[in-house]
Amino acid sequence: MANPNPKADLLQGTLDMLILKALSLGPLHGYGVIQRIRRMSDEMLTVEQGALYPALYRIELKGWVSAKWGENETGRRAKFYKLTRAGQKQLRVEEESWDRLALVVAKMREAT
């Protein structure tokens, strides 16, 4: 399925990575994912709900996370997402490529 907009691809990939990163610290429900991303980024990043759920479902289909209904610490029923082994691998891949990108950008900036 070719996406006509490469920019969207990039953004999507970034969001996926953020979600995977958030879940790498432990299983969470959707609301928790948003909160955790905000905390991890020192309140600099806010993920919109409208973007979060399609992204969660997408990476669930890709097999990077698994979802299960359960209860949170206060006894509320919620759907929890948990990073799978494939998800951990994917996260490493994406982090590496981000590191590489950062390195390249840094080098370019030094060159000027």
Interface residues toward another protein, by CB under 8 A: 1-2, 4, 29-31, 48-50, 53-54, 57-58, 60-63, 76-79
Query: CB within 8 A of 16, min separation 6: which ones?
Result: 55, 58, 59, 64, 90, 94
Q: Strand pairing of 28-29 and 77-83?
A: antiparallel
Question: Nearest distance from residue 98's CB to another protein, in Å?
Answer: 22
Name the residue nearer to another protein (CB basis): 5 or 112.
5
Q: How far apart are CA 89 and CA 30, in angstroms?
A: 21
What distance, in Å, lies between the first and last C-alpha atoms of the chain? 39
Question: Nearest distance from residue 24's CB to another protein, in Å?
Answer: 20
Name the residue nearer to another protein (CB basis): 17 or 90.
90
Query: CB within 8 A of 53, min separation 6: which ones?
Result: 30
Name the residue nearer to another protein (CB basis): 20 or 30.
30
Question: Nearest distance from residue 33's CB to another protein, in Å?
Answer: 10
Name the residue nearer to another protein (CB basis): 6 or 50.
50
